[in-house]
Every structure is written in C-alpha cells, then in structure tokens.
Amino acid sequence: RFPQHGHYVPQKFADNRIISSKYTVWNFVPKNLFEQFRRVANFYFLIIFLVQLMIDTPTSPITSGLPLFFVITVTAIKQGYEDWLRHKADNEVNGAPVYVVRSGGLVKTRSKNIRVGDIVRVAKDETFPVDLVLLSSDRVDGSPLGPESLLLRGARLKNTKEIFGVAVYTGMETKMALNYKSKSQKRSAVEKYVYFLISFLLVEMLLSKGREGNCFILRFISDFLAFLVLYNFIIPISLYVTVEMQKFLGSFFIGWDLDLYHEETNQRAQVNTSDLNEELGQVEYVFTDKTGTLTENEMQFRECSINGIKYQEVNGKLTPEGFSEDSPDGNMHSLMKEEELFLKAVCLCHTVQINADQTDGADGPWHANGIASPLEYYASSPDEKALVEAAKPFIFLEYNYIYEVMKTNQYKLLHVLEFDPNRRRMSVIVESPSGEKLLFTKGAESSILPRSKSGEIDKTRVHVDEFALKGLRTLCVAYRRFTPEEYQEIGKRLHEARTALQQREERLADVFNFIERDLELLGATGVEDKLQEKVQETIEALRLAGIKVWVLTGDKHETAVSVSLSCGHFHRTMNILELVHQEVKYLRCHYLRDGLNFEDHVIQHGLVVDGTSLSLALREHEKLFMEVCKNCSAVLCCRMAPLQKAKVVRLLKTSPEKPITLAIGDGANDVSMIQEAHVGIGIMGKEGRQAVRNSDYAIARFKFLSKLLFVHGHFYYIRIATLVQYFFYKNVCFITPQFLYQFFCLFSQQTLYDSVYLTLYNICFTSLPVLIYSLFEQHVHPHVLQSKPVLYRDISKNAHLGYKPFLYWTILGFFHAFIFFYGSYLLMGEDTSLLGNGQMFGNWTFGTLVFTVMVITVTMKMALETHFWTWINHFVTWGSIVFYFIFSLFYGGIIWPFLHTQDMYFVFVQLLSSGSAWFAIILIVVACLFLDVVKKVLYRHLQPTSTEKAQVMLCFYIQLHQYVKECIC
C-alpha cells in the first residue's frame, strides 16, 4: 500500500531506448555547425566571410562564403547520412517485438516500451532486450545460466526454449550501453600544417602592410583585414571535406576485398571507424591475444595424467603411455578406481549444458526414433566442452553428464562453485548414488597443486610441464570427500554467503576457499588448441616489416612459450630473457640491466614476463623495464589479466617515442586492450561479438592482418599523405602570385584573379583529380606489397607526412608560383600589344594567363604523381583542364545580367586568340614541370627506395612476360 497524502515519490527509471546517434531533427543544425566550426580552417573562413561583410575588401563575400557553404553543406550531408544510419539501426533494435507480462497475460509490445519491473519472456535464440534477473525457465532441473542469474542485454538465449525474467536495467543504463566507450576525436595531422600556413599568411600580410608606411590605427586595421581577405585562400578549406570523402569512400575497399573474405564462415572484413585508415600504414607494435586470435579456439583433448601415469588419446581411446592402441593392456575396458574417479570428475565438474531439444522424449537425451544421435553441447568455455566430449567414450553411460545422471538419479548436483579469475578454478559438490558427498575441482596448476595434501603431485607437475611444452592447455583435477557434519557446515556457510546483502562476493570467496582445501589430486588434462592457418607466415611478415609483436595471454608460462615457438613469434636462435614466477619478489635493477646488453645486433632478443612479475617491474622499475621491452624483437606476457593487457598497451603508447599501436583480439576480455590501442581490430571468432563491436576494424582470421596492413594500410597512407600535401602545394601556387602582384600595383589590394575563379579553383577546377588519386592510386602492385613486407618500412615513422616532405611540397609551390607570375610577366609584360588588331592586354588578361598556367600545371603535377591509371583518372585529369577552358569561354563569352561587373567579358577568348599566349602557356608549364621530372629521375637512379626498386622490378617482369607471350604467339 503506497504512502498517502503525497509523501510517495515514484522513482524514475530510464526507458529502454538505445541511442547511438549523435543528432536529432531539432539539434542537428546547431550541433553540427558547432562541431564543424571547431575546426581551424572552417572557423578561419567564417571570420574571413564576416570581415568581407563588414568592411570594404578587394573581393566579394561570395568568394569566401560559397566555398565555406559548400564545405559545410557536404560535410553536414555526410555526417547526417551516417547518423541516419545509426538512427535506422537504433529503430530496428528499439522497435523489435517482445513479449511482456501485463494484466496476468502475455502482451506483444516493442522493445522500447519495456520498463523496469516488467516481466519479459525470451525464447530460444532471441537476444535479451534488457538486463534481466532470471525468474524461471522451462528446464526440468530449473537451471540455466549465470552465477547471479543476471542476463545481460545483447546476449543470446541458448539451450532453453524460453525463460522469464524481470527487467532491472533498461536502455542506456544496461551494462552493454554503459560499457560503450566512444572514441575521442583524434586531432588530424592536417591541423599542424594549417597553423603553419596561418603563420605564413600573417607574415605576408605584415609585409604587404609594411610597404604603405605609417598610418592611423583604424586605417591600419582596415588594411590589415583587407590583405587578410586577399590572401585567405592559402588555407585550403575544401581539404577537410575531400579528406572525409576519401576516408569514407576508401573504407569500402576493405569490405569489398575478396582476399579478406572468409568463405567457411561467410564473413567479410568490416570497417567501424574510417578515420584511422592511414594509421594502418604506420603500425609499429602489434599486441595480440593468443586463444581464438592466433589459435582456432577449437579445443581437442590430447593427453592426461592420472595417478602419476600419462595417457594419450589414440583414435578415440585412452591409452597409457608406452602402449599402442592394439596392445592387450592398452584399452580402458576395466578401469581402476583412480582412473574411474578422475573421469567422473571430468564428466561432472563443469557447467556444460545439453541442447534442450535433445532432452525431450521417452527415449532419453540421445535417442530419436530409437536411433542414437550425437548430443549438442553448450559451454561457456571451449575447454570444458572438449573435456566433456572426450570423457564420454571412456566411462559407463550412467556417469556421463550432469543432466543425465540427475535424470536417472545416479549423481545429484548440490552446489556449483563458479570459476573466478582470482581462484582460477571451479568446483561442484555432488551426491553419489550411495549418498556420499563429493567435491570435484579443476583449475590451473598454481591453484590446485598447492592445496593438494597428497598424491602423485611431483609426477603430475612434471606431466603438466610436458603438456605445456607441447603447447597444450593444462588443467589439474582434484577431489575431496565430506563427512555429513562437514557438508552440513558447508551448506550453512554457502547459504549465508549467497543470501548476504552486503559484501556478498568477499564472503563467497572466503567460503569457496574454506571448501576447496585438503584436496586429493587426481591428475591433469592437456587440451590442444591448434594454430590458425598461416599464423607463422603472418608473424614473420610483421617482423620483416619492422613491426614488433607482443603476445598477451592468460595461459601459463610453459604453454605460452611453446605456442610462441610454434607460431614463429619466438625462434630457436633468439636469446630469450625470462622474468617469470610469482616468487621473483627480490627483483632488483641489476636483473633488468642484464637485459640491456643489446650491443650484438646480429642476435635477436625475446622477453617472457608473467603478470605478477610485470606488476612488480612496472611498479618499481617502469622506465627500465620498458627500455628492455623496446630492444626486444618479440615480447610474451603470460598469466595476464584483461586490465593488465590494457595497461601495457597504454604504457607503450604514451612513451616518449609515441609509437602507433595495434591491438587484436577475439573475446570480451580483449576489449579494454582493443580500445586502448591506436588501432583496434576484432577477430570474428567463437567468443561473442564484443571484440568486433568495440573495434575499429574486424576480420575473420589473423592471417588477414598482413593484407590489411601491408596493402590497404600502405595505400591509404600514401594516398592521404599525397592528398594533404598536394592541397597545400596547389594553394601556395594559387595565392603566392596574388602576393607578388601587390608589388606591381602599389599594394592597392587589387586582386589578380576574378572572383569566380577565386571561388571555383578548389571546388571545381582542381578537386577531382586528387580525389580520384586518393581513392585508386596503387604505386606498387598489391601482390608485391604483400610478398615484400620490407616495403612497409619505407612509409614507417610518418615518412611521407613529416615536416621534410611538407617543406618540399611547400617550396615547390612557391617555386612554381614564381615561374607562373614572372614567366607571364617577362613574356607578356613588356609588350602588351599581342593581338592581331593591335589591341592591348589588360590586368584581367594577365591574371587569367597566370591562372590558366596554374590550373594546367597543378593538374599535370597530379598526373606526374599518379602511377596507377584507370579510365576514371584519365577522365577527371584531362577533363578538368577541358572543363576549365569550356567554362572560361562560356563565362567570358556572355554578359551576365546578375553580375555587377563584366570585367571578364571576352577576356579569355582574346587570350586564346593570341599565338604568343599559347606559346607562353606551353613554355611556362614545361619550365615548371621539367625540374620536377629531373629531380624524380635523379633520385630514382641515385637514391632509390625499396618501393621504387620494386616498381622497376615489376615493370621488368611485366615487359618480360609480354615478350615471352609474344614469342609464344
């Protein structure tokens, strides 16, 4: 009964709508404009536009306003479209049909209408629409699922026809939504160059103003702003929209690449973040998980140790070491007591579930119409599933599975002591047919052997080490018998801990440790997780490319080292430094300093470190430890917790060198590492989709990493580097003649170009060739890049987008601009009567000549940079020049009534009617490009890069192939 007189205030909970979009219809315009004008170039052009509106300037406000409007509009359309896709995805999720209990019956509604407190029905293979607390299921035994019966949104129901649960967290308060980590906007490399050009612009303005002498303050400010408007086009406003289009459109090539398509699972590579395409070509460190990333995550039972005797799986039979399958004593028809108890522990100590559809009917769980059929199992861990499947043939049917033995009243499950990363083990308490209470435990060697009071501990430890050296995943198995009094005490403690309202986890951990003591060791298991295809070749290729690979895994030391050797991460000639074992508490600086002796560059070094020693090293000797790691070719971190993985990535990422890092993994425990790295890659594996959802890129297999980096990364980096620097080059070419012209017009702020040309230079005349280049350029054949990973080193360390290349492009722009201006001046400035009728050229004709030479030269410069020609490249390159001539003829050949001036009327026609003008155009263009061609030829012959050598070899092989083909014909 609610409190009366208005004292009751109902608590408000979030609705169940998921919102991944950034904008709404109402806030799109202001929010998008705010985000766009945070960019330096956009804000700069807004200021220019406002200045043109407020004071008398040499150019029309349209010259700045129209390009700004174009860029803002195109960017807004792109971002609006991407957000519309997010809205569409949200609507599909929020509008999904669900069933809730209302007024005593099931009612169909939409997911967004679920409220906290609603009872929701979820059927098999459906996704949980909210975070639910399980109330009931259709299982006969009343089980399914998690230790706290909390069913998280985004997970899928398996092994059960339907369940009912009460909604406890909805919408953006669900764990899935709270765990979403939005990526911070990275500062573009373009920004630093924009600041440089703004500084240069200020210098030009001061030089121009300095020629006018002393004047009043207001006049000085007015002229200063006028020159700011006159030179403002040195900042390429259209660069941002071109870069965004390049990244957005270019990202589709990854999804379309059939070499990144995995036929078995029908999965293509996917791009979740297109902003990082060029960083795929700059990776210096790769951090990779092992299980499911380097391996298949398909476990197969191989060996076990029982009572100090080692057994192997041979053709489905358990055979003692030294005996063959056909040996008289080699089969297991008559099991000894220890062996039988070991197999019972393996069969009973797990949380594997049988497919609910196979548990119906009177014929039992594995019979359908009287014919035996294989059971389908669901397990939270592939290790558990492999052990359960392996143990079935070696023991009588009545001991097989928890579900079956419960159904036939053979063994009764009493309690499950769930696995946790601190204990590193899990246990079950069962009641045998005779009424005896037994504890079966399995877990890591370090968590079981120290708690075992007797048994073949030494032999088992030797066998575990042998299994690990073979690359097998190991688990130890033990048991304990309870007296009635002990079990009664245990039951009481478990009940109190599980029902505690405060500190429940701590109390449960104490009870579990109390129960799991005085264990009797039964043996150990070895399960194989085979490597994925071409893992060794991929890791070797990464090493040749100059990329250092770190393997971060939760496996024990021996297993991790063995897998590292088998996958090529470590090799036999490598000097391995080890910093392992929890007992290394006496670690001192001298131990790490021994690892700093890297004077012999012939010998490669590898480092093995476990989680405990890593924590100690980072706490006491962080700088020294990281220095050792950077000098090692390969690093292996074993027994790592998920947060430790992220910490290692963060430490290296934030080191003084600030290397570009890449993290790759397949499971939810890799998400923190994937999000921490510069580039995160998710493997579409068997451990859910958390890694894929939180990654920047997703691929189906580790081997696809080489194509992603060496081909796509290489191409993207070269394309974006050339795109950015070419934009600055052509804008320096564009505005420098305007500055030089002021020396000939007494700094009167007279513009050299017509306003329409000012507006359309970056938007129409020179934009398409570089955009098409940035989408299709392949300076080396993809097969060459993938087969020669060493070519990746040519672009590493930001080789093509550093200050030296930028200065080269900038100086080249100034050099070409001087030739444009002074070449036109020398050829035409002295004698302006170059027309047949004696009519003289004016300043607009001179400016048009400079502009014409410039458009042709910068377009031809783009053509010189292009190695991979398609019909699209030809169309936009030569079409841009043709379009300029057609537009100029059309623009200058008509008197436009809406223009307040007709300065350009018939100017272009008169220019083209002069043979001297044509001679000047050809001569100036050749003079500009000749030195550039000579420089390229000399560098290719005197200082060729590995990439340029590969280009020459490829041309040779193509010519040889063509010659052989012609000879055969």
The tally of CA atoms less than 13 A away on the side-chain side of residue 31 is 11
User: 506 labelled as ligand-binding?
Assistant: no
> Is beta strand 353-354 parallel, antiparallel or unpaired with respect to 377-378?
antiparallel
Beta-carbon contacts of 186 under 8 Å, excluding residues fewer than 6 positions away, are 275, 276
CA distance 788 to 547: 14
Please indicate if the annotation marks 31 as binding a ligand: no
Say if residue 272 carries a ligand binding annotation.
Answer: no
Tell me how far apart the alpha carbons of residues 748 and 205 are, in angstroms, rounded to a whole number.
Answer: 13
User: Does 794 carry a binding-site annotation?
Assistant: no
CB 207: neighbour CB atoms within 10 A?
14
Alpha-carbon span 336 to 477, nearest angstrom: 17
CB-count exposure of residue 450 (10 Å: 0-12, 13-18, 19+):
exposed
d(CA 699, CA 269): 5
- Residue 419 annotated in ligand binding: yes
**Catalytic option among 118, 131, 223, 289:** 289
Round to the nearest angstrom and report the end-to-end CA distance of the chain: 97
Q: How is residue 517 written in tokens?
A: 């003591």
Is 619 known as a binding-site position?
A: no
Distances (CA, A) of 64 to 52, 57, 73, 194, 209: 8, 12, 14, 17, 22
**Beta strands per DSSP E along 645-800:** 660-665, 679-683, 697-699
**289 is a catalytic site residue:** yes
What is the C-alpha separation between 148 and 134, in angstroms, rounded?
9
832 in a known ligand binding site: no
Q: Compute the Cα dihedral for 784, 788, 791, 792 and give only its sign.
A: positive
Q: Is 465 within any annotated ligand binding site?
A: no
554 belongs to an annotated ligand binding site: yes
What residues form DSSP beta bridges with 416? 428
Does 538 appear as a known binding residue? no
**Distance between CA atoms of residues 566 and 903, nearest Å:** 76
> Which residues make Cβ contacts (< 8 Å) with residue 204, sequence separation at least 6?
227, 231, 234, 739
d(CA 449, CA 522) in angstroms, rounded, equals: 10
Length of the chain: 969
Task: Please choose, from the candidates 688, 666, 536, 543, the residue with its C-alpha nearest in 3D space to the C-alpha of residue 604.
Answer: 543
Say if residue 647 carries a ligand binding annotation. Answer: no
User: Pick from 302, 506, 516: which is nearest to 417 by CA?
Assistant: 516
574: helix, strand or coil: coil
In this structure, what DSSP letter does residue 607 have?
A: E
Greatest Cα pair distance in the chain = 122
Q: Is 666 annotated as a binding residue?
A: yes
- Helix residue spans in 659-702 (DSSP H): 671-676, 690-693
**Residue 473 marked ligand-binding:** yes
Residue 316 among known ligand-binding residues: no
Cβ atoms of 170 and 115 closer than 8 Å? yes
Is 669 annotated for ligand binding? yes
Who's near 687: CB < 8 A, 6+ residues apart? 292, 297, 666, 667, 668
The phi-psi region of residue 952 (left if phi > 0; otherwise alpha if psi is between -120 and 50; otherwise beta) is alpha
For tokens 């143990």, what's the residue?
Answer: 391
Q: What is the DSSP string of 312-346?
A: EEETTEEEETT--TTSTT-S-SS--HHHHHHHHHH
282, two tokens: 């700059």
Which residues are designated catalytic?
289
Going by the annotation, the residues of the binding site for Mg(2+) are 289, 291, 666, 670
Going by the annotation, the residues of the binding site for ATP are 289-291, 384, 419, 442, 473, 553-555, 639, 645, 669-670
Going by the annotation, the residues of the binding site are 289-291, 384, 419, 442, 473, 553-555, 639, 645, 666, 669-670
